[in-house]
Amino acid sequence: MKYCKYWQILTTFVLCVALLLCPVTAEAASSSSITRSAGDKVQVKDYSGQSLIGTEFTNVKLENTQFENADLRGVVFNGTLLSGVNLHGVDFSEGIAYLAKFKDTDLSDAVLKDAMMLRSTFDDVNVTGADFTNAILDGVEIKKLCVNASGVNSRTGVNTRQSLGCK
């Protein structure tokens, strides 16, 4: 019995010394290393009709960029400025817009189902016919969007005001 106890102590000691002398390194994976990232290299101003599924736009300015009718399912806009951007008719289902700034942006007839859009701002945005079903936005931003929300999405048949939960 004593032999077993000493053996456990010795094994534990050897293992601790080995870990101290040869530490195991851990490498964290970021979402940008997993997905296609546009990064700071955004030079294309017209993505109209293109499939950009899973692309990540991080800390970039997309001023006056055209995305009309593009497939943006699962796209990430992280810390991105979307000023004067045309997102008419896009499918942004299950997309993420975190700390994104939508200013003078056209989201008319866009499908934003199940999109996560927390901490994003919407100033002078056209949401006529947009479908926000199950999208998550900050309450203040929903109230701003509801002021001018109207129409029905041409693809889903969903009323914009209802999808935003406007009163």
3-state class (DSSP) for residue 91: strand
- Least-confidence region, from 26-40, 89-103, 107-121: 26-40
Cβ atoms of 90 and 68 within 8 Å: the answer is yes
Whole-model pTM: value is 0.76
Residue 91 has pLDDT above 50, yes or no: yes
Over residues 97-126, mean pLDDT:
98
pLDDT digits (tens, 9 = 90+) for 1-19: 555 566 677 666 665 566 5
Q: How far apart are CA 137 and CA 109, in angstroms?
A: 18
Residue spans of the domains in the chain: they are 41-164
> What does DSSP assign to residue 28?
P
Q: Using 50, 70 and 90 to split pLDDT, how confident is the model at 28?
A: very low
Task: Determine the pLDDT at residue 127.
Answer: 98
CATH class of 41-164: mainly beta
